Amino acid sequence: MIVCHNCFADKELKSFVIASASSVGDCEVCGSSNVHLIELKELYDFLQELGACFKVVNQGVSLTTKIQEKWDLFTSDHIAEIILNFALPKFSNKDSNELSLVDYADDIVENYSYWETLKEELKWSRRFFVDIGKLEELGWDGFFNMQYKISHDTKLYRARVHHQSGQPAYPSNEMMPPPSDIAHGGRANPVGIPYLYLSDNPETVLYEVRAAYLDELSVGVFQLNNEGSDIRIVDFTVVPSLFNVGKIKETIKAQLLREMISTDLSKPMRRYDSEIEYIPTQFICEYIRVFTGADGIRFKSSLHPLGNNIVIFDKQFMNCKEVKLNTVSAIKIKADLIVGKTIDY
């Protein structure tokens, strides 16, 4: 079978096809004309390793659905079905095809499911002497290498709601996290160890502090202290390419684990939440800080999908450059959910 780069949505896979093309012509799979073409057998090692990451089950979804909903390898489900149904029988002795119902292989499920086990252990069993050896056995010490660089030019934001109207904007030093002796525990930081919670979108911070109509608030703009410097933080927002022969299963394990942790990090804090609920994510942030040397984390905001939240472990890296006074002048409400806020500067 001949395929072309237009058969694939994954950027790394597309680039490989273009670089390895043996000819230019018409693709018999997607119908594209004058495109880079390769024999599908050039991808057999990748497809075989990918197929080994799944098992046939009685209740599940098709292999195409499982791959496309998470990894978006192919440009369409139809193309995925053609390629997988052609390739799978070449190297699989299982009575399966693209339409078989599948789930992730047992060792993958065991790996990401351990997050739920660890959460219960941290909350109700043991807190300060967790079995780190078990995490290393599962490979977690290598699962947080998706890192994002914050440079001096990067602008980040933090907001504080005013408790009285008509007050001036907070001074820059009061936009920093509270001192250790009064720092409450949060999703990322333990009690007494303050982290700096920021966002990469100035509108996102309005949602994160639950700003309401006519609220007045200060929004600070933060940048790194030293020009020419940068720090690296673990990025929970990026989905890596699976096209990495020899490491596909590890990539899947790492991504599924990061997604579970990111979901817990993104959960809004509620007034009636017990601080015990925060212990697992506090632990994983400490684990990341110690075992990766990263200076913080980035994860998606569940309250404002257009922005990401950023937690800096050491506030000394950042400086509040300016603070602006804002007023929430409009709120759009749809289906009982706040979907938009407008602020006046």
Q: What is the DSSP letter of 227?
A: T
Q: Is residue 133 part of a domain?
A: no
Backbone region of residue 336 per phi and psi (left: phi > 0; alpha: psi in -120 to 50; beta: other values): left
Asked if 75 and 147 sit in the same domain, the reply is no
Same domain, 319 and 216: yes
Please tell me the total count of domains within the chain: 2
Name the DSSP letter for residue 169: P
Residues 181 and 300 placed together within one structural domain of the fold: yes
pLDDT at residue number 228: 78
116 in any annotated domain? no
Closest CA to 57 of 108, 103, 89: 103
Q: Are residues 21 and 74 in the same domain?
A: yes
Residues 92 and 178 in one domain: no
The answer to the question of residue 132 being in a domain is: no
Same domain, 171 and 93: no
Tens-digit pLDDT string for the chain (345 aa): 999 999 999 999 999 999 999 999 999 999 999 999 999 999 999 999 999 999 999 988 999 999 999 999 999 999 999 999 999 888 765 555 556 789 999 999 999 999 999 999 999 999 888 999 999 999 999 999 989 899 999 999 999 999 888 999 999 999 999 999 999 999 999 999 999 999 999 999 999 998 888 889 999 999 999 887 899 999 999 999 999 878 999 999 999 999 999 999 998 776 667 889 999 999 999 999 999 999 999 999 988 989 999 999 999 999 999 999 998 876 654 444 444 555 554
pLDDT at position 226: 86
What's the predicted TM-score (pTM) here? 0.89
Angle at 137 between CA 132 and CA 139, to 5 degrees: 95
- Per the CB < 8 A criterion, the answer to whether 25 and 52 are in contact is no
- Per-residue pLDDT, 332: 57
In a domain, 131, yes or no: no
- Cα–Cα distance for residue pair 95/59, rounded to 1 Å: 16
Residues 158, 11 share a domain: no
In a domain, 126, yes or no: no
Give the DSSP H/E element, type plus range, for residue 296.
Answer: strand 296-300
Residues of the domain holding 12:
2-53+69-97
pLDDT attached to residue 339: 47
21 lies in some domain: yes
- Reading the block at residue 173, the tokens are 């030093």
Q: Residues 308, 183: one domain?
A: yes
Q: Report pLDDT for 337.
A: 41
- State residue 340's pLDDT score: 55
* Residue 168 sits in the same domain as residue 42: no
The answer on 174 and 75 residing in a single domain is no
Both tokens assigned to 238: 């990026």
Per-residue model confidence (pLDDT) at position 334: 46
134 falls within a domain: no
Residue 64 is assigned to a structural domain of this protein? no
